[in-house]
Structure 1
Amino acid sequence: MRPEELLPDNTNETERGGLVIRKGTVGAFLTSVQVWGDPAASADAKATAEADMVSVLPAMQALGLFEVFELRDPALRALVARHLP
């Protein structure tokens, strides 16, 4: 499936599992993970990235991201486990 088939240009959100998920949420999550794991990132940048990651974890779960992809980073796995049932 192509992205525009899932969310056409004129559609900015979808609903899964009762959650409204904005277009770009997966990309934002992945970008935050990169900042959070970057040893050169400042403590403030890492804290912001972590808060952003945690805020979209329910959406990632509703989309099935963690059923398809295994998180290789032990610290990231632990963070996700702390915040998701």
Structure 2
Amino acid sequence: MKPETMLPDHIDTVQANGITVRKGSVGAFLASWRVLSNPSQSDDSRAAAREDLIALLPALTALGLFDVFEARDPRLRELIAQGRGGA
């Protein structure tokens, strides 16, 4: 399936299991993790990235992302588990 089939250019959100998921959520999650996992980033930047990442977890869970992919980094796995109500 092509991205434009899922979300055409003129549509910015999709409903997944009753949760509104914005276009760009997966990219924002990855960008947040890059900042959070980079020790050269400021504490404030890393804290903001952590909050952003956690805020995205319900949407990405609703999409089924974590049913298909598992984070290789144990710190990210733990953060995902905590944010999803586990661990």
- TM-score, normalised to structure 1's length? 0.95
- Hey, what does 1:50 align to over in structure 2? 50
Deviation at 1:67, TM superposition (A): 1.0
Deviation at 1:49, TM superposition (A): 0.3
State percent identity of aligned pairs: 48
Amino acid at match of 2:42: S
**Which contiguous aligned blocks of 4+ residues in structure 1 show a shift greater than 6 angstroms?**
none
* Structure 2, unaligned runs of 5 or more: none
Structure 1 residues 30-73: Cα deviation after superposition (integer angstroms, max 9, x where no partner): 10011111121111110000000000100111111111111111
- Hey, what does 2:11 align to over in structure 1? 11
- Hey, what does 1:80 align to over in structure 2? 80
Aligned residues: 85
Distance 2:14 2:40 in 1: 35
- TM-score, normalised to structure 2's length? 0.93
Q: What do you get for the CA RMSD once the two structures are aligned? A: 0.8
